[in-house]
């Protein structure tokens, strides 16, 4: 133990050292604080830069999607902007849970489509620095450059359904125009589809699409939903014409309401004269029979139409009147199918409209390849075997006009390529 003057000296030295140590600790703390704030600030600014980039990418993608959707026949300003706003929110993911995020879309009179994005999230010291939290503001403007017509539309929008389905080694060849499903779209086995644009509201199953499919697209409303489809007189009010089976010769039908079941085989021909033909009984064509006519529309009133074997079909749609532009139509309550199984279906010039039923294309070869243009709007479009549904889009100079809402009417059905203005 140290005693006497030595102890006093040590106590005095220790007393002098204590405040110096405290000063060093305080100075160290004061020096560390700004460094820590600088580090935290750098991290926050990096996060803010990434979040701004995320918001900008979302606005860019939504503007392009909105510009594309706005050019679809039947799409109005409200549905396109709502679609773009939801689309943008979906692009930012979890950031929308950590911040107040909103997108506002608008359609310009010059064909442009604008998406503005706004976000606010917490900042330092209870949003005091900067006051109110960090704020992000972005904008993107897109425009369509080239318009493409709508040539195939699968109307059914039931979740999980395939409004367009291709199997076997079948093909859909619709170069330069849009093939759209309001639900899902599938290609199975060796089937494939080649079009100007392939798009669907739901998902795409399979990989043989050219170009790559655009999933999650805005639905295309039935462009003909307001059309009344009814015969001049009801089928029930007419006496039955029974079954007429023909294996040779030509049967010529004037326009009107037909309640005779025609079964054509051998080399028999059913020729339809110009006008509107309403059929109340089934139609069957087999062997090398023929179905021909120009300037006509076939309206199927709850009946089946089947073309099989080597039956030949050459039909040109109505050129005038309320059904101008249409070639085959079924009434709205009909669920009876239209089947093209023949190898000789050369011409289907006009619009095939089957609002509540299915068109089957199972022919071993090309279908409708000699048509100047064709449009198919059906609840379901199904191809199989080795068929190739050929959809041409040469509208100029056609004797059959394109009805409003499809083809190159109503501004087209889709617009690509697209570009961002800023």
Instruction: Give the residue from 320, 246, 333 showing the smallest Cα distance to 290.
Output: 246
Q: Which residues contact 10 (CB under 8 A, 6 or more apart)?
A: 2
Hey, what are 103's tokens? 């997108």
Checking phi first, is residue 268 left (phi over 0); if not, alpha (psi -120 to 50) or beta?
beta
Quote the crossing angle between the two packed helices 5-70 and 77-92, to the nearest 10°.
Answer: 150
pLDDT at 244: 97
Which residue do the tokens 């606010």 mark?
120
End-to-end CA distance of the chain: 84
- pTM metric for this prediction: 0.72
pLDDT at 299: 98
List residues bridging with 199 in a β-sheet. Answer: 180, 214
- pLDDT averages per 10-residue partition of the chain, 422 residues: 50 51 53 53 75 93 82 64 90 90 85 89 67 87 74 95 97 93 96 93 94 85 95 96 97 98 98 98 98 98 97 98 98 97 95 98 94 97 97 94 88 51 62
Half-sphere exposure of 114 (CA within 13 A, CB side): 10
Beta strand residue intervals within 68-220, DSSP E: 100-107, 112-121, 134-144, 147-148, 150-154, 162-166, 171-181, 184-187, 192-200, 204-205, 209-210
Q: Which residues contact 418 (CB under 8 A, 6 or more apart)?
A: 64, 67, 68, 142, 143, 144, 145
Phi, psi at residue 37, to the nearest 5°? -65, -40
Instruction: Give the residue from 44, 47, 48, 45 showing the smallest Cα distance to 137.
Output: 48
Checking phi first, is residue 58 left (phi over 0); if not, alpha (psi -120 to 50) or beta?
alpha
Is the backbone peptide bond immediately before 417 cis, with ω within 30 degrees of 0? yes
Instruction: Give the residue from 286, 255, 251 showing the smallest Cα distance to 271.
Output: 251
| Cα–Cα distances in angstroms (integers) from residue 128 to residues 5, 123, 124, 267, in the given order | 59, 7, 6, 89
DSSP3 helix / strand / coil % (the chain, rounded to 5): 20, 40, 40
SS3 140: strand
Rounded Cα gap, residues 202 and 302, in angstroms: 30
Hey, what are 162's tokens? 């395939």
Q: What is the DSSP letter of 237?
A: G
Report the alpha-carbon angle 407-176-415, nearest 5: 70
List residues bridging with 144 in a β-sheet. Answer: 418
Specify whether the CB–CB gap between 106 and 81 falls below 8 A: yes
Rounded Cα gap, residues 272 and 388, in angstroms: 26
Hey, what are 381's tokens? 């479009």
pLDDT at 119: 94
List residues bridging with 124 in a β-sheet. Answer: 129
Rounded Cα gap, residues 360 and 350, in angstroms: 17
SS3 224: coil
Phi, psi at residue 289, to the nearest 5°? -70, 170
- CA Rg value for the chain: 34
């Amino acid at each position: 133990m140290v005693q006497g003057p030595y102890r006093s000296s040590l106590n005095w030295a220790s007393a002098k050292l204590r405040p110096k140590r405290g000063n060093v600790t305080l100075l160290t703390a004061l020096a560390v604080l700004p460094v820590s704030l600088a580090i935290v600030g750098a991290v926050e600014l990096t996060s803010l830069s990434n979040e701004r980039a995320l918001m900008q990418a979302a606005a860019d993608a939504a503007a392009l999607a909105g510009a594309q959707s706005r050019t679809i026949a039947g799409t109005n300003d409200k549905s396109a902007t709502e679609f773009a706003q939801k689309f943008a929110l979906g692009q930012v993911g979890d950031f929308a849970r950590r911040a107040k995020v909103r997108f506002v879309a608008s359609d310009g009179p010059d064909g442009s489509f604008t998406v503005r994005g706004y976000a606010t999230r917490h900042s330092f010291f209870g949003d005091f620095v900067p006051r109110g939290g960090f704020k992000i503001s972005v904008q993107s403007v897109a425009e369509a450059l080239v318009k493409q017509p709508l040539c195939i539309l699968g109307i059914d929008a039931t979740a999980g359904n395939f409004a367009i389905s291709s199997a076997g080694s079948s093909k859909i060849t619709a170069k330069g125009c849009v093939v759209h499903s309001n639900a899902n779209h599938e290609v199975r086995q060796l089937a494939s589809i080649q079009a100007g644009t392939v798009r669907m509201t739901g998902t795409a199953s399979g990989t043989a699409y050219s170009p790559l499919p655009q999933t999650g697209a805005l639905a295309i409303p039935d462009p003909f939903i307001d059309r009344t489809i009814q015969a001049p007189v009801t089928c029930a009010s007419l006496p039955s014409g029974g079954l007429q089976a023909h294996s040779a010769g030509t049967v010529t039908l004037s326009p009107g309401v037909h309640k005779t079941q025609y079964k054509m085989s051998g080399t028999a021909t059913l020729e339809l004269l110009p006008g509107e033909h309403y059929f109340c009984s089934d139609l069957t064509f087999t062997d090398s029979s023929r179905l021909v006519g120009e300037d006509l529309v076939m309206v199927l009133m709850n009946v089946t139409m089947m073309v099989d074997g080597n039956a030949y079909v050459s039909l040109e749609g109505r050129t005038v009147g309320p059904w101008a532009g249409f070639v085959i139509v079924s009434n709205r309550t009909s669920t009876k199918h239209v089947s093209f199984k023949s190898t000789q279906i050369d011409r289907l010039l006009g619009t095939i409209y089957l609002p509540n039923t299915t068109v089957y294309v199972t022919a071993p070869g090309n279908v409708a390849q000699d048509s100047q243009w064709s449009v198919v709007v059906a609840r379901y479009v199904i191809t199989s075997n080795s068929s190739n549904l050929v959809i041409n889009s040469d509208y100029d100079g056609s004797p059959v006009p394109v009805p409003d809402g499809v083809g190159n009417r109503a501004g087209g059905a889709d617009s690509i390529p697209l570009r961002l203005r800023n």
